[in-house]
Structure 1
Amino acid sequence: MTRPPDETGIETLIQLMSRLPGLGPRSARRAVLAMLKRRAQVMAPLAQSLAEVALNARDCRICGNISTADLCPICQDPSRATGELCVVEDVADLWALERAGVFRGRYQVLGGTLSALDGLGPEELGIPRLVARVSDEAVTEVILALSATIDAQTTAHYIADALTVTTAQITTLAQGVPVGGELDHLDDGTLGAALRARRKL
Structure 2
Amino acid sequence: MKRILALFCAMAMFGFVLSPSYVEAATVNPKTLLEKKFPRERVTVSKSVDLNGDNKKEHLLITESGNFYLINSKGVIVLIDTNYYSDEEPTIHILNVSAKEKQVAVTLDYLPSNTELLVYKYQNGTLKKKLSVMGDVGIEISKTGEIIQMWKNYYPEGGWKIAVANYKWNSKKDKYVGSGELPR
- Name the structure with the higher strand share: 2
Instruction: Settle same-fold status: TM greater than 0.5.
Output: no
Select the structure that is richer in helix.
1
Taking structure 1 as the reference length, the TM-score comes to 0.31
Give TM-score scaled by structure 2 length. Answer: 0.33
